[in-house]
Amino acid sequence: MEDDKENIIEKWDAYDKDLNKLGYDLIRGEDIEDNVFHLVSEVVIINSDGNYLAMRRDFNKVYPGLYEVSVGGSALRGESPIQAAKRETFEETGIKVSHLKQVGIYIAEQYNTIYVMFLAYVDINKDSIVLQKGETIDYRWVPSSEIKNFLNSEMHVPGKNERVKKMINMLKINYH
């Protein structure tokens, strides 16, 4: 019998604003009280040729058919930010990353979410991306010379582009 993804209860650790665990669980879909947060790991993937991976969202998701220049999702109960980042990267792309560099933390109080941002430099065959059924329907590699225009285009999920743009700006300071 196949598991029905919608019937699985997803549990998260509750955190305060300083990334301290509060000792109880949150459940996806339930309200979260003020000043309590759940953790989301996001990974921007850059291939050895300098191109950024953009994944296209399934048409059944919020922001259907739009691209995201990051992969990731909520850390499950007991997962560290880096464990969640590695798991989500593999689930959404088929890429097994061994090294991630944490490059930022963004707090979205209106969503009770702490985003932990990672960068993954990879050297892979660009045709080896594996789509995740129900999550992604396509992908593309965006050259670094075009990344800012892509993030500002109508093709990219609005809002998420601001976190990614900040991260890319930091990369230019730290790595170039």
* Residue 155 covered by a domain: yes
* 3 domain residue, yes or no: no
Write out the residue range of the structural domain in which residue 37 sits. Answer: 9-175
Nearest to 117 by CA among 57, 55, 69: 69
Q: Does any domain span residue 2?
A: no
Q: Please tell me the total count of domains within the chain.
A: 1
State residue 163's pLDDT score: 76
In a domain, 145, yes or no: yes
> For residue range 135-171, what is the model confidence (pLDDT) as tens digits?
999 999 999 999 989 998 999 998 776 777 777 776 6
Over its C-alpha atoms, the chain yields an Rg (Å, rounded) of 16
- The answer to whether residue 1 sits within a structural domain is no
Residues 118-127 pLDDT 10s: 999 999 999 9
Contacts of 17 (CB under 8 A, 6+ apart): 35, 37, 107, 114
Residue 83 lies in a domain: yes
The answer to whether residue 124 sits within a structural domain is yes
64-110 per-position pLDDT tens digit: 999 999 999 999 999 999 999 999 999 999 999 988 999 989 999 99
Is there a domain that residue 4 lies in? no
Cβ neighbours around 176 below 10 Å, total:
5
| pLDDT at residue 63, as a whole number | 93
Closest CA to 40 of 131, 96, 104: 104
Please give the mean pLDDT across all residues of the chain: 89
Domain of 121, CATH number, reads: 3.90.79.10
Helix (H, G, I), strand (E, B) or coil at 130: coil
